[in-house]
């Protein structure tokens, strides 16, 4: 597996690559990313190629967010990509991606107003802009994203729909620790006490999902179950949001239906953990 850091080399590779399945990342890769690369490998088949990008995108970090502290672990990331079946890793410096006098950016004006977007203004515009650019550079046939960042995936589905970008998106289920905690590069910021309480996020969503299956479909009831469970099992956590939304539009729902998503964000100290669950 070779690692490329210039647009010229990427374009040269792309011309000969045939079908390409793409996994965009910001590095600090863990087993969750390995699962995305393995899924890309499966989708690409024997003749297709798997490309991974590693780029910490400054446009999606707000002032005071962790851009400078964001972990950079390129050597370990390259080893993980090779092991999981990637053919090429594109890991460009910022100057290779953004012109210093750039003046065009994508704006998403509906789905990014809620959930994580409500407290991170501009974040999803930065995500849309870099993903559109990466799609133009890599020109993949398919791209794989994790469902842990469910809002991101829903917004990127809009991006390719609204801008007619010919890339098929695939969402992959969240990879978890044995106790249910969703893998995240931000888990490393948790103290041992916080780490012990963090599985309560998924457990609280499962509890609401079971209640939903038993016929309790009102948002108020389901979200109370989530809040009560977190208050009891994760007292070090502070809920940012707990919401029942339509999984495509992200609009709040009063009653759960077959398109529902329970979405949750909880602060533990400075670390903000997110999780979600599709209801059936």
Shortest distance, position 131 Cβ to ligand PAF, whole Å:
6
DSSP sequence for 132-165: HHHHHHH--SEEEEESTTHHHHHHHHHHHHHTT-
Write the binding mask 217 to 236 for ligand PAF: x where contact by CB under 6 A, - elsewhere. --------------------
Shortest distance, position 59 Cβ to ligand PAF, whole Å:
8
Burial of 251 (0-12, 13-18, 19+ CB in 10 A): exposed
* Residue whose tokens read 């809002």: 151
Asked if 20 interacts with ligand PAF (CB under 6 A), we say no
Burial of 222 (0-12, 13-18, 19+ CB in 10 A): buried
Rounded to whole angstroms, the Cα distance separating 150 from 277 reads 9
Spot the catalytic one: 33, 123, 170, 229: 33
- 33 labelled catalytic: yes
* Partners of 69 in the β-ladder: none
Site for ligand PAF in 99-138 (CB under 6 A): 127, 130-131
Tell me the window of 19-27, 202-210, 236-244, 250-258 that interacts with ligand PAF (CB under 6 A): 19-27
Rounded to whole angstroms, the Cα distance separating 2 from 16 reads 15
Q: Which is nearer to ligand PAF, 167 or 208 (CB)?
A: 167
Size of the site for ligand PAF (CB under 6 A): 10
Q: Which residues bind ligand PAF (CB under 6 A)?
A: 24-26, 57, 60, 127, 130-131, 149, 152
Catalytic site positions: 33
């Amino acid at each position: 597996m070779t690692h490329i850091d210039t647009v010229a080399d990427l374009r040269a590779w792309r011309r000969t690559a045939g079908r390409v399945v793409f996994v965009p990342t910001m590095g600090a890769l863990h087993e969750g990313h390995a699962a995305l690369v393995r899924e890309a490998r499966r989708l690409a088949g024997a003749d297709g190629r798997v490309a991974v990008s590693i780029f910490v995108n400054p446009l999606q970090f707000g002032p005071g967010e962790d851009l400078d502290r964001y972990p950079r672990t390129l050597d370990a990331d390259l080893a993980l990509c090779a092991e999981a079946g990637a053919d090429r890793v594109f890991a460009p410096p910022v100057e290779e991606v953004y012109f210093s006098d750039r003046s065009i950016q994508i704006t998403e004006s509906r789905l990014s107003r809620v959930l994580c977007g409500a407290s991170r203004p501009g974040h999803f515009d930065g995500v849309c802009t870099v993903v559109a650019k990466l799609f133009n550079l890599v020109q993949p046939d398919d791209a794989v994203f994790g469902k842990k960042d469910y809002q991101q995936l829903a917004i990127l589905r809009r991006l390719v729909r609204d801008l007619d970008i010919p890339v098929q998106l695939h969402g992959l289920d969240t990879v978890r620790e044995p106790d249910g905690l969703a893998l995240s590069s931000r888990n490393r910021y948790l103290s041992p006490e916080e780490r012990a309480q963090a599985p309560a996020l998924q457990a609280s969503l499962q509890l609401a999902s079971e209640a939903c299956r038993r016929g309790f479909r009102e948002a108020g009831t389901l979200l109370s179950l989530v809040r009560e469970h977190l208050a009891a099992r994760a007292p070090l956590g502070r809920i940012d949001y707990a919401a029942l939304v339509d999984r495509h539009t992200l609009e709040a729902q009063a009653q759960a239906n077959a398109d529902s998503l329970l979405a949750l964000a909880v602060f533990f100290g400075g670390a903000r953990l997110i999780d979600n669950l599709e209801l059936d």
